[in-house]
Structure 1
Amino acid sequence: MIRTGDVIHNSITGETIRFVETAADTDGERVTVDVLVEPNGFVASAHLHPYQTEVFEILEGSLTFKVDGAVIVAAAGESVTVDPKTAHQFWNASETTARFRCTVTPALQFEQLLETMFALANDGKTNKKGLPNPFRLAVIANHHFDDVRLPFPPAWVQKLGLIGGAPTGRLLGYKPTYTPDEVGEVAVV
């Protein structure tokens, strides 16, 4: 369980997150994190949050965003707001580390999703983009369908795919959460 002050790092995407406010601190109202993104670092994939707003306040350096198809380069002192159901992604195209504060409202299961994806990457259980194999991803995506989705195909098509993929992933032993201490895991390539 994530607590205020906890720090997690993703060795694949080059992101380090420090939790400033957690869902427990705010009664689920929001999560606030400070994020360092190394040069060439990135969020794992383009995505959208069906019910959450994200506000990115750039504190140091610059970050490139793609929000609803528009490319935005935001520098220190600027902010980018991403409304629910808006496709977005970010990356650090600069030669210096970027730092931003992100507030996600409402919190939902955002912390758990980050904790799971970062732990998988650090244990070598993702590809070079930071994504796990399709069956494990189906289990995670099905569990977090209210937190995050792909921008395309439409949500109903994604859910249809998860109807088959998630049960298969569970049969293979995958869970919607992951901690590095899990034992007896089956490797699926």
Structure 2
Amino acid sequence: MSLPLILQPGEGRSVQIRTSTCTFKATGKDTHEHFGLFEFVMEPGALGASPHIHKELTEMFYVVEGEIELVLGERRVVAQPKAFMLVPENTPHGFSNVGQTQATLLIMFCPADSREQYFEGLAQLTKDGRQPSQEELLDLMQRFDQYPVL
């Protein structure tokens, strides 16, 4: 059963992925699996996600602060606050912080599909500066409907 929820700034369960922090604001458990919303805070120069696709998932990105390079198919755009990107299934996309300041991105997706488990797995693989192998990354990605675009 879903419960009403208010989270103040800094609230919500979060994981550290290299120099970025991913905070789970709403997960599938909160929304009957309809959608999820995560806040992704990135340090300057942080790589968020290299180009990939989802076969079953629609993903949306909203820039809150900073300069985020959004990749959508062949397009690369340096997005400012209030920029939005809609990514239908099977569409290559990625993002990174190309600015000189911290950047914040809201990542929304539906269906929710336990998406937080992907970010938890990535946090575990990169804990304490560890560099995961390509095989470890591919295994994690494929378990959560994420496929790299070469």
Smaller-chain TM-score bracket: 0.7 to 0.9
Q: Which amino acid aligns with 1:109?
A: S
| CA distance in structure 1 between the partners assigned to 2:142 and 2:91 by the alignment | 19
| CA distance in structure 1 between the partners assigned to 2:138 and 2:23 by the alignment | 27
In the other structure, the counterpart of 1:120 is: 125
Give the CA deviation at 1:140: 2.4
In the other structure, the counterpart of 1:10 is: 17
Paired residues for 1:1-189 under 5 Å: 5-11=12-18, 14-126=19-131, 132-144=132-144, 147-152=145-150
| CA distance in structure 2 between the partners assigned to 1:22 and 1:61 by the alignment | 25
Report the structure, 1 or 2, having the larger strand content. 2
Secondary structure, counterpart of 2:60 in structure 1: strand
Instruction: Go from structure 1 to structure 2 and tell me whether the alpha carbon gap of 1:99 and 1:138 turns closer, same or farther (over 3 Å shift).
Output: closer
In the other structure, the counterpart of 2:3 is: none
| CA distance in structure 1 between the partners assigned to 2:141 and 2:104 by the alignment | 27
Q: Which amino acid aligns with 2:127?
A: N
Percent identity between the aligned chains?
A: 26
Q: Rg bigger for which structure?
A: 1
| CA distance in structure 2 between the partners assigned to 1:114 and 1:25 by the alignment | 17
Secondary structure, counterpart of 1:45 in structure 2: strand
Secondary structure, counterpart of 1:86 in structure 2: coil
User: Is the Cα contact below 8 Å between 1:56 and 1:79 reproduced in 2?
Assistant: yes
TM-score (norm 2): 0.84
Q: Which amino acid aligns with 1:134?
A: Q
Give the CA deviation at 1:109: 3.2
Instruction: Go from structure 1 to structure 2 and tell me whether the alpha carbon gap of 1:140 and 1:71 turns closer, same or farther (over 3 Å shift).
Output: same
Aligned alpha-carbon RMSD (Å): 1.7
User: Is the Cα contact below 8 Å between 2:27 and 2:115 reproduced in 1?
Assistant: no
| CA distance in structure 1 between the partners assigned to 2:22 and 2:137 by the alignment | 21
TM-score (norm 1): 0.68
Q: Which consecutive unaligned segments of at least 5 residues does structure 2 have?
A: 1-10
Give the CA deviation at 1:143: 2.5
| CA distance in structure 1 between the partners assigned to 2:39 and 2:148 by the alignment | 24
The alignment of Structure 1 onto Structure 2 pairs a total of residues equal to: 140
Q: Which amino acid aligns with 2:147?
A: R
Instruction: Go from structure 1 to structure 2 and tell me whether the alpha carbon gap of 1:98 and 1:124 turns closer, same or farther (over 3 Å shift).
Output: closer
The one of the two structures with greater contact order (alpha-carbon pairs below 8 A, sep at least 6) is: 2
Q: Which amino acid aligns with 1:31?
A: G
